[in-house]
């Protein structure tokens, strides 16, 4: 999964955008779109994120 982040006014640290983590293809679509719209004002990058393992009730019952 990947997360689109921005460097607001090209200063400071990268911060999260409103988009939740998504697959690579969707992340690249967002990255291209926002670089075209706001590339002169902000910097956008795509960062890989580690998603936490989803625990389910059946996982609890069987220890996994």
Domain locations in the chain?
2-50
Output 48-55 pairs: Cβ under 8 A, ≥24 positions apart.
Answer: 48/1, 48/2, 48/3, 49/1, 49/2, 49/3, 49/21, 50/1, 51/1, 51/21
Q: What is the number of other CB atoms lying within 10 angstroms of the CB of residue 37?
A: 11
Q: Quote the pLDDT of residue 52.
A: 74
Q: Say yes or no to pLDDT of 60 above 80.
A: no
Q: Is the pLDDT of residue 55 over 90?
A: no
pLDDT exceeds cutoff 80 at 57: no
3-state helix, strand, coil in the chain (%, to 5): 35, 25, 40
Q: pLDDT by residue (tens digit) across 21-52?
A: 999 999 999 999 999 999 999 999 999 998 77
């Amino acid at each position: 999964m990947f997360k689109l982040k921005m460097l607001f006014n090209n200063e400071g640290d990268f911060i999260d955008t409103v988009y939740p983590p998504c697959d690579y293809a969707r992340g690249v679509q967002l990255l291209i779109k926002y670089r075209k719209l706001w590339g002169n004002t902000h910097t956008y990058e795509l960062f890989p994120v580690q998603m936490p393992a989803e625990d389910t009730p059946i996982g609890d019952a069987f220890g996994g």
